[in-house]
Amino acid sequence: MPRPDPRKSCPIDLALQGGGSHGAFTWGVLDRLLEEDWLKLEAISGTSAGAMNAVVLADGYEHDGPAGARKALETFWRKVSDAARFSPFQRTPLDILLGRWTLDSSPAYLMMDMMARLVSPYQMNPAGKNPLTEILEECVDFGRLVASPVRVFITATNVATGRGRVFRNAELSPQVLLASACLPTVYQAVEIDGVPYWDGGFSGNPTLTPLIEDCAAEDTILVQINPIERPGTPRTAREIQSRINEVSFNAVLLKELRMAAIMRKVADAGHAEGSRWGSMRLHRIASDIMLDLGSSSKMNAEWAFLTMLRDKGREAADAFLQEHGDDIGKRPSFDLDELIRDH
C-alpha cells in the first residue's frame, strides 16, 4: 500500500498585502496555490489590492471551487487592464524601449503627483468617480459571498479615529473594497454607514488578528509585496518617497508580527494567554522583483506588466512549495524571532 501524503488536507489562512497593480504578483501566488488540493483554504485577510484578490477568490471559489477562483482572478485583472487601456498614466516610449515598468517619466503621472500635494481629490474629482466600482460589480456576486466556505476579513481605516475596522463576508460590498483601497490623496474618503474610511494599509496591511483569534487553521501564509528591507540609502526625491510608502505600509504589520513573536515566547513559558498567538505557524511568500519596482509602477495596469507580475508570483509560490511545502502543518518557515532581536 502506498504511504499517505503527510501534507494531505492542511488547513491554511492567507494574509494578502495591498499595493495597487503590484497585487498582480499576489494573483500569481494564489493561482499557483489553488492548484494544490492538499491546501484547504479557510480564511483570507486582505487590504487594498489584497482585499480585491481575497474577495474575487472567495466568490469564484463558492461558484466553482479552485478552478472557479482561478478563473475569477484572471477575469478581474483582465478587466482592470482593459479599463486602464486609455488611462493617461502610461509609460513613455523610452521606458518601453528600455523595458522599464516605471511611470516616473510619465507626464500625466508627474502632473497628478504634483497636483495631489496641492489640490485635494474633492477638487480634482468632485463626483468621486472610481473605475473599480463597475469592475467589482461585474466580477463579484456579493450576495454569494455570505455562503462562501472561505472566510474573508477586509481592513479599512476609520478617518476620524485612525483605527482599523475589519469587515467580514456578510458586510462586504463594492464600497467596502473601495474604502480598503482609498488613497486619500487620490480618492475621496468612502463613507460606509455614515463613517468615512481610507486605505486599510494605514491600520493593517493586512490585519492578522482575526486569522489568529477567529480561525482554526494554525498555518498562515503571508504574501508580501511591500519590501521590509531595501539595501542602500534613498537619495533622490522619488526614491525617498517610494521608501516612505513602503515603510508606512509595513509598520502595522511588523507590530503585529512582533506581538506574535512575543506571545509565542509567553506560550513557550507555559502561560495560557499566549497559546493562540503562540501556536501560529507563519510562512511568507515574497520576491526580489519588488526591489526593482518603484511606487509609481503601482499605477501601471498594462496587461504585459500584470502578467509579468503574475508569472513572478507563480514562480515565487512554486519555489516556496518546493522549499517549505513540508513545513506546512508542522513548523513555521518564517523566523518571527528575527523581528524582536536588536539590530
Smallest CA-to-CA distance from 208 within 50, 31, 49 is with 50
Residue 245: closest CA among 301, 186, 316, 302: 186
pLDDT band at 273 (very low <50, low <70, confident <90, very high): low
Answer yes or no: are the C-beta atoms of 27 and 263 closer than 8 Å. no
Cβ-proximal residues to 24 (8 Å cutoff; 6+ apart), any chain = 77, 305, 306, 307, 309, 310, 313
Quick one: pLDDT at residue 269? 59
Calculate ∠ Cα 226-228-230, nearest 5°: 100
Higher pLDDT, 112 or 122: 122
Give the predicted TM-score (pTM) of the model: 0.91
* Amino acid symbol at 317: A
Cell numbers for 275, please give them. Answer: 497559546
Q: Are 293 and 22 in contact, with CB atoms under 8 Å apart?
A: yes
Please check whether residue 251 is in contact with residue 191, taking contact to mean a CB–CB distance below 8 angstroms. Answer: no
Could you please report the per-residue DSSP string of 36-54?
-TTEEEEEEEE-THHHHHH
* Distance separating alpha carbons of residues 187 and 178, to the nearest angstrom: 9
Q: Which pLDDT does position 280 carry in this prediction?
A: 83
Q: Does residue 1 have a pLDDT over 70?
A: no
Q: In this structure, what C-alpha cell is assigned to residue 124?
A: 480634482
Mean pLDDT value of segment 318-329: 95
* Rg (the chain; Cα; Å): 20
Q: How many residues does the chain have?
A: 343
